[in-house]
A = this chain, B = another copy of it.
Amino acid sequence: MKAHLITIGDEILIGQIINTNASWMADQLTAFGVEVEEIKTVSDTKDQIIKALKLAEGADLVLLTGGLGPTRDDVTKKAIADYFDTTMEFHQESYDRILYYFKKLNIPVTKLHKEQCYLPANCEVLLNKKGTAPGMWFENKGTVIVSMPGVPYEMKYLMEHEVIPKFLEKKSDVFVSTRTVQTIGTGETVLAEALESFELSLPEKLSLAYLPSLGTVRLRLTGKSENQTEINDLLDLKTKEMVQLIPDFFLGYEKDTIGHVIGNLLGEKGWTMGTAESCTGGHIAHIITAVPGSSAYFKGSVVAYSNEIKMNLLHVEEQTLVDHGAVSEQTVAAMVAGALKTLNVDVAIAVSGVAGPGGGSEEKPVGMIWVAVGNKDRIVTHQLQFGKDRDKNIKLTTNYGLNVLRKFLLAG
């Protein structure tokens, strides 16, 4: 079963927002064995929407998002009505829902909300419990076309509760499955060399892709077959083989992140952790606490942007800062020792560096970062040198630093 996604909106075409809806929908469809063949973004204009619908003919499923909100830049439903050569009709049930819902919240109903309830005559209405714009389901020459609002949580509600269950009833037997292996600490080329013979020996039903990000590479095996059991068994076997070829860089499976892996390692040991952050400004703590349940092992952080806080809360001695500077091995080691004491944790990570884009010197250029990880018995330190992009430096340092912590936890 093949799907096309059409996301509508000038805000995507001018680069003002990132198309996170498309990736979420693609992830969901893939999980249910539906192959996304194409993702397209077109303008909020009737002509472009109609053209995109015509080009998507032949797909089993066409999902449109965007252009159903209450404001004037919404032309999607009129384009769909034109595409089907039908009229717009008032949908009383949708309007009654809005009246009921807004009365409860004590919000006035505007005429824009009433306009939202005019829908193409041939649509089947999908109940949107998260907002005022209903979803719309159409069937045409073997293709299902669904139109949803572009607001992410409304779209997600409709996908999970209406679109996917309804579509899966029609699903055929072609089965696509994937396995993902997360790696950290090296690049695509080193992994490709290590996996060269493995990749060449893969059966034709399987393919391998390398997906690099900041300090991590995801390896994805995809299999296609009419036999679901066969393809799953083959994927499991080959995934195991692949992991054995890259022991130094293996992080986890599927959606495992460094945050999850560290949480599991700390859980096994019964250890607590904390962070002492200068240039990452709280981003390491954010990645750790993005994991549900992290309060079991994460106690807290000191974000010490100023030297005053490094001294007062992390007990870094003034002489250390004077002799070696805030960006130095001595300072990050002292920050770890201070964090262990101040936060009363079993293991701590500390970073200090020049995030950029300004603020560097010849001796300590932009992108120079020191990382330390330690417990009461030992402290390890690393020096990194990245480029001048502040955002990238913060995120690379986070991933690099958390990998140092992971190795520290694995070592003892």
Contact = CB atoms under 8 A, between A and B. Distances in A.
A16 B392 contact: no
A227 interface: no
A246 interface: no
Interface in A66-81: 69-73
A353 interface: no
B42 A13 contact: no
With a 10 A CB-CB cut-off, give which of A24, A25, A275, A289 has the most chain B CB atoms: A289
Given A207-B73, A299-B308, A10 B222 contact: yes
A281 B292 contact: no
A105 to B, nearest CB: 12
Given A41-B38, A73-B208, A390-B292, A18 B18 contact: yes
B301 A302 contact: yes
Contacts of A284: 282
B36 A73 contact: no
With a 10 A CB-CB cut-off, give which of A15, A25, A282, A298 has the most chain B CB atoms: A282
Contact of A192 (B112, B283, B312, B344): B112
B44 A30 contact: no
A25 to B, nearest CB: 7
A2 to B, nearest CB: 11
A325 interface: no
A313 B222 CA distance: 50
Interface residues of A, number: 103
A276 to B, nearest CB: 10
A383 B39 CA distance: 40
B300 A289 contact: no
A42 B391 CA distance: 28
Interface stretch (A57-65, A212-220, A233-241): A212-220
A18 B15 contact: no
Nearest to A73: B209
Contacts of A361: none
A12 interface: yes
A23 B28 contact: no
A107 to B, nearest CB: 8
Contacts of A306: 295, 299-300
A367 to B, nearest CB: 13
A395 B322 CA distance: 38
A12 B358 CA distance: 34
A128 interface: no
B27 A70 contact: no
A70 B151 CA distance: 38
Given A28-B15, A71-B188, A189-B70, A295 B305 contact: yes
A361 B293 CA distance: 15
Contact of A391 (B39, B73, B290): B290
Contacts of A41: 22, 38-40
A199 interface: yes
A72 B13 contact: no
Given A37-B43, A305-B289, A15 B24 contact: yes
A356 interface: yes
A244 interface: no
Contact of A209 (B10, B358, B387): B10
Given A38-B41, A72-B199, 8 more contacts: A11-B220, A14-B26, A16-B180, A70-B188, A275-B303, A286-B286, A290-B394, A293-B358
Interface of A: 9-20, 22-30, 35-44, 48, 55, 69-73, 110, 112-113, 151, 153, 178, 180, 188-189, 192-193, 199, 207-213, 218, 220, 222, 275, 277, 280-286, 288-290, 292-295, 298-306, 308-309, 312-313, 342-344, 355-359, 387, 389-392, 394
7 tightest Cβ-Cβ pairs between the two chains A and B: A281-B289, A15-B27, A282-B282, A282-B285, A15-B26, A301-B303, A39-B41
